[in-house]
Structure 1
């Protein structure tokens, strides 16, 4: 098993920092590794704390009287210098419950009100996003959205178009557009299931 010898913080940014890991591989050889983290200091990284508290949330919400539309955002991302389809998402603030974070983020990014569903805890378990690059982990919160779309809460660094997507449009987006991986997998489920939230009603004691 590999081993980390030391961790050095390389940047000092508010939302994301780069850390250098001086490590060794399973054979004792030297490894120089770089990790992006939401942690403000090395002692708060997942490798130090060994916890899986969510750094952020993504919101999978259905909209409309028939609950036949999914709420997405079409957002400009500097990393690709282009727009991409994603779920509304954001960071969990200090001492904030992640359900509260989901309600706040959906309101800020879309103007919509979120009614979170009560689901088995493991279905909202924090999961790692891109583990080869970052120790960030996020929870998915599921629910129903209502209200009128607004981007008044959009920050200066954000360019967001809120879209309410039916199954036909979801297919087109998957075929023709740039889509974040997490969002793409859920869209595949959305377009093939009569009840997009059916899997949330199943648990380990009952066949899916």
Structure 2
């Protein structure tokens, strides 16, 4: 493709804001025409880790894991309804959480699923699960791994942290179809998985 030759060059990265879970960087770059511009990037990484990512093409570990949990005993998909501060409202999404430094993705998925729902993740389908994807690359370098697997146990909210307001629930195909037609806030990944589930695709 000809457009691949029109490459922008990143010159430098400056810190705008730093916190425990999220940082803002000003990325200064030159366009393929030689004009200097900047881009504001939200990142889970420290400035040093972010520079390794963009300048050395290193540090590609996923920041977070998303679980597509399926109850094959009753043909149901696991969802959560979670209050999210940025929209000041509830949103329907999939169980998810941050991966600790050096933590195995599958271990992180099992830990997060148990904390949010009380359920056990097992029989992970590694062939269908993703290594690393970027959900919002226009504003962030945040990367996620999506793991498909089966879940079992009894739903409980007792393991959630104080900052979490999460209601886990299962849906059948008929319930999922109804949910898609209703006026809910949906996480994009959850909407796509729900649509696939309703259409009869394998989970």
Using structure 2 for the length normalisation, give the TM-score. 0.89
Once residues 181 and 90 of structure 1 are traced to their aligned partners in structure 2, the CA distance between those partners, rounded to angstroms, is: 16
Unaligned 5+ runs, structure 2: 1-6
| 1:189 paired residue number | 196
SS at match of 1:173: helix
Once residues 12 and 39 of structure 2 are traced to their aligned partners in structure 1, the CA distance between those partners, rounded to angstroms, is: 11
Unaligned 5+ runs, structure 1: 198-208
Q: Is the 8 A contact 1:22 1:31 kept in 2?
A: yes
Measured after TM superposition, the shift of residue 64 of structure 1 is 5.4
Q: Is 1:40 aligned to residue 46 of structure 2?
A: yes
Once residues 101 and 117 of structure 1 are traced to their aligned partners in structure 2, the CA distance between those partners, rounded to angstroms, is: 13
| 2:95 paired residue number | 88
Alignment of 1:59-138 (within 5 A): 59-63=67-71, 65-66=73-74, 68-120=75-127, 123-138=129-144
Once residues 147 and 49 of structure 1 are traced to their aligned partners in structure 2, the CA distance between those partners, rounded to angstroms, is: 44
| 2:179 paired residue number | 173
Measured after TM superposition, the shift of residue 49 of structure 1 is 4.3
Runs of 4+, deviation exceeding 4 Å:
none
Using structure 1 for the length normalisation, give the TM-score. 0.87
Once residues 39 and 171 of structure 1 are traced to their aligned partners in structure 2, the CA distance between those partners, rounded to angstroms, is: 38
Residues 20-70 of structure 1: CA deviation (Å, up to 9, x unaligned) = 11112111112121001110224345313424321110000112523x111
SS at match of 1:62: strand
Q: Is 1:56 aligned to residue 64 of structure 2?
A: yes
**Pairwise CA RMSD of aligned residues?**
1.6
Q: Is the 8 A contact 1:116 1:141 kept in 2?
A: no
Once residues 127 and 22 of structure 1 are traced to their aligned partners in structure 2, the CA distance between those partners, rounded to angstroms, is: 24
Once residues 92 and 170 of structure 2 are traced to their aligned partners in structure 1, the CA distance between those partners, rounded to angstroms, is: 12
* Aligned match for 1:161, one of 164, 167, 192: 167
Once residues 70 and 145 of structure 1 are traced to their aligned partners in structure 2, the CA distance between those partners, rounded to angstroms, is: 9
Question: Aligned residues, how many?
Answer: 194
